[in-house]
Structure 1
Amino acid sequence: MPDSAAPFTPAQLTRDHVLRALRQIDRESQPLPPSTVYDLVYKGRRYPPRPVLQLAFRLASGQPDAALPLLAGNPTNNLLERLDFTVTTKRPVLANSPHDGELAAQEAMQELYTGNGHEPVAAKPAKKPAAVAAEPLVPYELPPALPYTRDQALQELFISAQTLDQAQAALQRRRNLILQGPPGTGKTFLARRLAWLGLGSTDARRIELVQFHPSYSYEDFIQGFRPDATGAFRLTPGVLLDLCRRAAQEPGQPYFLLIDEINRGNVSRIFGELLLLLEADKRGPHNAVRLPYAPPEAARFFVPDNLFVIGTMNTADRSLAPLDYALRRRFAFLPLPPEFGAPLQEFLAAQQVPPAVISRVVARLTELNQAITDDPELGPDFQLGHSYFCQPPTDPAAAPAWLDAVLTQEIAPLLDEYWLDQPAKAAAHRKKLLRP
């Protein structure tokens, strides 16, 4: 429990605190005040950022009525991104939608309301459509661009220098790269570092991150009709079209599109005819095409040569169809296996994790991953990655309890999913995993 003489502050929040809040929200199906501008995206689901951080703050501080001393928008989003969560803008709010009528007023109330955050405040929709239909312009400052080098990347990543060189070479050769591997192997983390290495800095202005999901569409990604402030529908560029235009204006500067969970979306439908333009030898104005929604007089569209696409793919997701050959032919693929070797052990030691705890992490996960690999119904694609153990507590004395919590609350439930039809086998592996 936090010391009463030293109040708990948002700076003390860790990724584990936020994950604990997300698990409680999912488990209890807690209703949350909606966000009108940003979403926290985690495992294909979207959450309002500030209510999630508010719950994490209350759980971490042990004070169920504690008020989070951070405003919605930039302060909350920056803290979540520092904890390596993804915060994205959401779709516009429509004035004439019965589902959206109260969203704008509820979001404004979040900064003032300190009562029960689970009970949304009723609000009357504005009379003028422009007050609700338009996406609110909340200032969201990008972090300053800092230099980023290969040495920094190797210090942060648990991969060899050779693997990093292979990833960079594949990206330069094909312009399109997919990082694939089991859950928790740091695919999104590596994707962002590859973009920083390509830029030579952490310049967020030249990086766009999107996450595919079953309802993501061509209209979201390329071009489609969206309502404007007057309630009329206008042709609006999507993420890829906007990024390509920006990249074409600076041909000497690389731009990066990061696609998280690329296999969760219907890739053929999302890319449409533009799948052809992704090929390295189909880039540039001489391969431009006219977009289906564009008027005849509109300029043709092309993918500039300085745009790099990095996707991530979770190989353990059995609910998805395999990627089709048309996509595979246009991407290079880099497998990312779990890394429980020297780099992870040195990282944990540098974080003051006791040697006994480090040995237990390596022994238990190595044994479990071997059992998963040997199982004919699972195989190496279902191994568990090292990122479960990349947020150890700052207090070395709390390390054993932290490890028990990760094994009990995050990994053991996953084993029940892996062996859903074989509960006895799942129980046996849980027992081995959780033994002292």
Structure 2
Amino acid sequence: MPDSPTPFTPAQLTRDHVLRALRLIDRESHPLPASTVYDLVYKGRRYPPRPVVQLAFRLASGQPEAALPLLAGNPTNHLLERLDFTVTTKRPILANSPHDGDVAAQEAMQELYTGKGREAATKPAKALQTAAEVAEPLVPYELPPAVPYDKATALRELFVAEETLIQAQSALQRRRNLILQGPPGTGKTFLARRLAWLGLGSTDASRVELVQFHPSYSYEDFIQGFRPDGQGAFRLTSGVLLDSCQKAAQEPEKPYFLLIDEINRGNVSRIFGELLLLLEADKRGPQHAVRLPYAPAEAARFFVPDNLFVIGTMNTADRSLAPLDYALRRRFAFLQMQPEFGSPLQDFLAAHQVPKAVISRLVSRLTELNQAIADDPELGPDFQLGHSYFCQLPASSAEASAWLDSILTQEIAPLLDEYWLDQPAKAAAHRKKLLSK
């Protein structure tokens, strides 16, 4: 008797199989059960992930009654993400709460609604007006005037080689998106702003936007969402990316920069959503525009203009952060930043009257410590200490020794206790070497 054919498995599903199922759903208005936690987002429409995969599995296997051997949730979502589809948590949610992504969180979110509804509709207009008037006063300020900025100026400020600076500029021009990654204190944010100024040719702050990701940062903050307007209602509001794209699109001949500090501290897949695709250098412009989930049908579709450059910074030493997924990595170039305790830092300190003995002690102690950190199998090069700890200079030459002692004692020594938390004797030995005169 010949061997029976190998049964079709979910691992054999391709992107085309899923697209075929989506087309069938759209063409025949195929009824699907509503999803409770996750949505598959494709071309501005939302679908329940597991029923879509179930249909794709049946079509691909040729078995109309086949049961999908995958559970709902992460198993199904991971399959779709592997095929380059976007799966998002249904909104509204309480981001990063114990019930994040859970139906209970969605129900609880309804209790936070403060628009004109159940209780708000019964409140007197005067009470609503009083609530709207309670706000922190805005302090007026002006952006600093723009001054010319060139490579020579950058090299005087930065502790990187000219070749590294050229590589960063080249990567940014090629990919339009760049991530500066490395240990803490290696000047990643400092370099990011200087790269923007080099691209502009000046320190024009009006064309540079800086945002920092964090665990509570969301799609609604970055792209678009409904927010309270101070009048007891919610309004559709553009986020940082939309604002930056709109400004850049109005002046296509001028570069604009969006700086994302600590990009890996946020849930990048959730923050970018379906727009991760539009960041690619060859997916820029109106020909690749998409409809945003919150936008009304008649609204203009959204695209990322070609003159918007995105620079992110990423701390590689934080163990609490999940690694970036491959979908994001494909859209960015990466530049590794290293601690710099060589000639650039030494010349900088000497130019500001820091005595040679203090400089020598600083360099020898940190070089020795970083080598020990890099050689430790539990830590490695990503946990080395950067030079930016020493860029805020002492007030005078006479205070230089006390300045160095303060940094070593109050900033670096406590970090060693965290690095070798389970090895207190090792931490104490390195702290003793660091602080020895």
**TM-score, normalising length: structure 1:** 0.70
Consecutive unaligned residues in structure 2, runs of 5 or more = 1-111, 116-126
Aligned to 2:419: 418
1:173 aligns with 2:162: no
Please tell me the residue identity of whatever aligns with 2:175: R
- DSSP 3-state at the match of 1:129: helix
8 A contact 1:261–1:314 mirrored in 2: yes
Deviation at 1:137, TM superposition (A): 4.7
Residue 171 and residue 414 in structure 1: after superposition, are their counterparts in 2 closer, same or farther (change >3 A)? Answer: same
Aligned to 1:302: 303
Matches within 5 A, 1:26-425: 128-132=130-134, 137-425=138-426
Deviation at 1:394, TM superposition (A): 2.5
Of structures 1 and 2, the larger Rg is shown by: 2
Please tell me the residue identity of whatever aligns with 1:142: L
Deviation at 1:293, TM superposition (A): 0.2
Residue 148 and residue 95 in structure 1: after superposition, are their counterparts in 2 closer, same or farther (change >3 A)? Answer: farther
- DSSP 3-state at the match of 1:384: coil
Distance between the aligned counterparts of 1:219 and 1:181, measured in 2?
29
- DSSP 3-state at the match of 2:259: strand
Distance between the aligned counterparts of 1:216 and 1:368, measured in 2?
35
Distance between the aligned counterparts of 2:346 and 2:364, measured in 1?
12
Deviation at 1:95, TM superposition (A): 12
- DSSP 3-state at the match of 2:134: helix
Please tell me the residue identity of whatever aligns with 2:370: N
Distance between the aligned counterparts of 1:184 and 1:142, measured in 2?
27
- DSSP 3-state at the match of 2:277: helix
Please tell me the residue identity of whatever aligns with 1:245: Q
**TM-score, normalising length: structure 2:** 0.70
8 A contact 2:339–2:385 mirrored in 1: yes
8 A contact 1:126–1:132 mirrored in 2: no
Residue 227 and residue 159 in structure 1: after superposition, are their counterparts in 2 closer, same or farther (change >3 A)? Answer: same
Deviation at 1:140, TM superposition (A): 2.5
Aligned length: 315
Backbone CA RMSD of aligned residues: 1.7
Deviations 1:215-252 (A, max 9, x none): 00000000000111322100000000011000000000
Deviations 1:155-208 (A, max 9, x none): 000000000000000000000000000000000000000000000011010011
Deviations 1:120-177 (A, max 9, x none): xxxxx995233137x7554231111111111110000000000000000000000000
8 A contact 1:96–1:129 mirrored in 2: no
Deviation at 1:96, TM superposition (A): 6.8
Distance between the aligned counterparts of 1:280 and 1:126, measured in 2?
47
Please tell me the residue identity of whatever aligns with 1:332: A
Distance between the aligned counterparts of 2:402 and 2:339, measured in 1?
23
Consecutive unaligned residues in structure 1, runs of 5 or more = 1-93, 98-124
Distance between the aligned counterparts of 1:257 and 1:151, measured in 2?
23
Percent identical pairs in the alignment equals 83
Distance between the aligned counterparts of 2:222 and 2:323, measured in 1?
21
Distance between the aligned counterparts of 1:300 and 1:288, measured in 2?
5
Distance between the aligned counterparts of 1:394 and 1:351, measured in 2?
9
